[in-house]
Amino acid sequence: MPKITYIEASGKEHVVEAPIGQTVMEAAVKHAVPGIDADCGGACACATCHVYVDPEWLSKTGEQNSMEQSMLDFANDVEDNSRLSCQIKVSAELDGLVVRLPKSQH
Amino acid sequence: MSPGEIKRVIIIGAGQAGGETAQRLRQGGFAGDITLIGEEPAPPYQRPPLSKGYLKGDLDMDRLLLRPASVYAEENITLLTSLRAVWIDRANKRVRVEGGRELPYDALVLATGAKPRKLPLVGADLAGVHLFRTAADVDALKPHFVRDAKLVVVGAGYIGLEAAAVARQLGLHVTVIETAVRPLARVTSPEVAGFFLDEHTRQGVQFVLGGQPAVIKGRERVTGVALVDGMEIPADIVIAGIGVTPDVALAEQCGLTVENGIVTDALCQTSDPAIFAIGDCAARPMAHFDGRMARLESVHNAMEGAKIVAAALTGAKPHTVEAPWFWSDQYDLKLQIAGLFQGYDNVVLRGVMADRSFAAFYYKGPKLIAVDAVNRPAEYLGAKMLIQTGRTIPPGELEDETRPMKELVAAAR
């Protein structure tokens, strides 16, 4: 299974095995990675699964879709590499992906 | 009782509210016993996808689980599934479960949820007549949810319409019977309801509005639904989507205050300070709506109850309550709702319905109280922020689509 590293705002790292086909959000939530709230469970309704994709992975994670872009417009501390992790599907290509988490999702 | 003295927490109800409470207690550093009691066989799972991706076959049960089943043991949470709590002894702070075992608690959380209403009709127990609440309900329905089957949905609320949308996508013939003269009568305005009626009609759903079902026909399996006016609609499957009633049996048995749901204060505490009630079964005062009591059936409300109670029991900083939010997925439409629209006196549209991308803003006097946003996430999130902070955009400004939502929100007072 692809491994994904989540780095909390404090610097604490969590390495999680993520099943292909699930989302980067789901893998975090199921392993109780703190810092990803994902209140809506991946329905793109809450904007509480915001992550920063490590720049070298941006080409592989793809781009923000339009709904995601609009949601991120209202999130805090948004950067060019911001994504909603519920919109990134895990694939074999993403083995080794590193994402950083914002200080707060609200 | 102060947080430090609480050693044993029992949570009755292992849905999203109960499951989240257990998780958040542990994440918040609670080191005592946590017992989570649920009637269903599965560990806590998300219900919203049941009428969407799960029904359609896009998501399996594993993906609905809030956390993998193994997490409960790892975190030392005693998860008792397929078990009913039958009695609460408040004087001695004990919960009795089926089989007679009694479990002591220092704090008790009632997250008993709601039960779907059965159709009050002859024939409601026939095979092929389905309620829609649990994964088991949907598992029973799915083998019959096949191309060309005839589905009758009774009740045009969100669950009924979501099921209708999935059914059309899978090629079933769908008729929706609604006693009111329009769909979604309880949950949105005539304007937005009209949009969804048109959309479903275009997608091939037949509607019988103002229809009064009289009897479910069939010998062993359902064959149709007869209306009081004599009309009969053939059916291979019937879904009852006529709402839920809060499960307040235990609360009533032990004498807690119950009105429309178990009555709590803003901290989810019931009339017994050792007992909290959260999620679909409980009503609490709404911070952004002048403290009006409301019983919300939503993920937001389940999560928020869990956050409030976990903070109270661990002595953490109190949770900052959010404006209520909801969503519904039908076809390629994402409806996102913030606030509570009841009592509005003015509705303002931004965008046009024909584009399948618009938002309806609800005002009570000068105050923005709710939004229904269809494929309009910025309007949804913007309005949610405004409602949460008690700010308002003058209605006239919303109609000007040349000004982005973000700008309007920034300028709002």
**What is the C-alpha separation between B210 and B358, in angstroms, rounded?**
27
A contact test, residue of B63, B330, B371 with most A CBs within 10 A: B63
Give the number of beta-carbon pairs within 8 Å between A and B: 58
Mutation site for B-interface testing, chosen from A12, A14, A70 by largest number of B Cβ within 10 Å: A70
- Which CATH architecture is the domain B332-411 placed in? 2-Layer Sandwich (3.30)
CB-closest option in B327, B375, B376 to A43: B327
Contacts B375 to A, Cβ<8 Å: 67
ipTM score: 0.88
Q: B409 and A74: CB-CB below 8 Å?
A: yes
A67 to B385: CB separation less than 8 angstroms, yes or no: no
Q: Does B118-242 match B3-115+245-314 at the fold level?
A: yes
Tell which of A25, A29, A74 to mutate to test the B interface (max B CBs under 10 Å). Answer: A74
- Domain boundaries of chain A, sorted by first residue: 3-100
Domains in chain B: boundaries: 3-115+245-314, 118-242, 332-411
Closest CB to A43: pick one of B48, B65, B322. Answer: B48
Is the per-residue pLDDT at A75 higher than 90? Answer: no
Which has the closest alpha carbon to B27: B74, B70, B75, B78? B75
Rounded Cα–Cα distance for residues B363 and A46 (Å): 23
pLDDT value for B128:
97
Judged by CB atoms closer than 8 Å, whether chains meet at B71 and A32 is answered as yes
Q: Is the pLDDT of residue A76 over 90?
A: no
CA–CA dist B364, A19 (Å, integer):
47
- pLDDT tens figures, B266-298: 999 999 999 999 999 999 999 999 999 999 999
3-state SS record for chain B: CCHHHCCEEEEECCCHHHHHHHHHHHHCCCCCEEEEECCCCCCCECCHHHHCHHHHCCCCHHHHECCCCHHHHHCCEEEECCCCEEEEECCCCEEEECCCCEEECCEEEECCCEEECCCCCECCCCECEECCCCHHHHHHHHHHCCCCCEEEEECCCHHHHHHHHHHHHCCCEEEEEECCCCCCCCCCCHHHHHHHHHHHHHCCCEEEECCCEEEEEECCEEEEEEECCCCEEECCEEEECCCEEECCHHHHHCCCCEECEEECCCCCECCCCCEEECHHHEEEECCCCCCCEECCCCHHHHHHHHHHHHHHHHCCCCCCCCCCEEEEEECCEEEEEEECCCCCCEEEEEEEHHHCEEEEEEEECCEEEEEEEECCHHHHHHHHHHHHHCCCCCHHHHCCCCCCHHHHHHHCC
Per CB-CB distance under 8 Å, the chain A contacts of B23 are 32
So what's the pLDDT on residue A60? 93
> Chain B window 16-35: which residues touch A at a Cβ cutoff of 8 Å?
23, 27
Instruction: State whether B67 and A41 contact (CB < 8 Å).
Output: no
B168 within 8 A of B176, measured Cβ to Cβ:
no
- Which residues in chain B have Cβ-Cβ distances shorter than 8 Å to A46? 325
Considering only CB atoms, B299 lies closest to which of A34, A40, A74, namely A40
Q: Residue A30 pLDDT > 90, yes or no?
A: no
Chain A partners of B317 at a C-beta cutoff of 8 Å? none
Report whether B175 contacts B151 (CB < 8 A): yes
The tens-digit pLDDT sequence of chain B (413 residues) is: 677 789 999 999 999 999 999 999 998 999 999 999 999 999 999 999 999 999 999 999 999 999 999 999 999 999 999 999 999 999 999 999 999 999 999 999 999 999 999 999 999 999 999 999 999 999 999 999 999 999 999 999 999 999 999 999 999 999 999 999 999 999 999 999 999 999 999 999 999 999 999 999 999 999 999 999 999 999 999 999 999 999 999 999 999 999 999 999 999 999 999 999 999 999 999 999 999 999 999 999 999 999 999 999 999 998 889 999 999 999 999 999 999 999 999 999 999 999 999 999 999 999 999 999 999 999 999 999 999 999 999 998 998 899 999 999 999 98
| Interface residues from chain A to B (CB-CB < 8 Å) | 22, 26, 29-30, 32, 34, 39-41, 43-47, 67, 70-71, 73-74, 106
Q: Which residue among B23, B382, B406 places its CB closest to the CB of A32? A: B23
Nearest to A39 among B300, B320, B376 (CB): B300
Q: How far is B293 from chain A (nearest CA, A)?
A: 23
Shortest distance, CA B294 to any CA of chain A (angstroms) = 20
- Which of B381, B391, B407 best probes binding to A when mutated, by most A CB atoms within 10 angstroms? B381
Whole-prediction pTM value?
A: 0.95
CATH number of B3-115+245-314: 3.50.50.60
**Residue B175, strand partner residues:** B152, B206
Tokens of A102: 């914002």
Q: How far apart are CA B239 and CA B52, in angstroms?
A: 14
* The listed CATH number (1.20.1740.10, 3.40.50.300, 3.10.20.30, 3.30.70.20) that belongs to domain A3-100: 3.10.20.30
- DSSP type of residue A71: H
Residue pair B159/B132 in contact by the 8 Å Cβ criterion: yes
Mutate to test the interface with B, among A25, A40, A84 (most CBs of B within 10 A): A40
- Determine the distance in angstroms separating the CA of B337 from the nearest CA of chain A, rounded to an integer: 9
C-alpha B151/C-alpha B239 separation (Å) is: 8
Q: Which of A22, A41, A70 sits opposite B377 (nearest CB)?
A: A70
Q: Are B407 and B398 in contact (CB under 8 A)?
A: no
CATH number of the domain located at residue range(s) B118-242 in this protein: 3.50.50.60
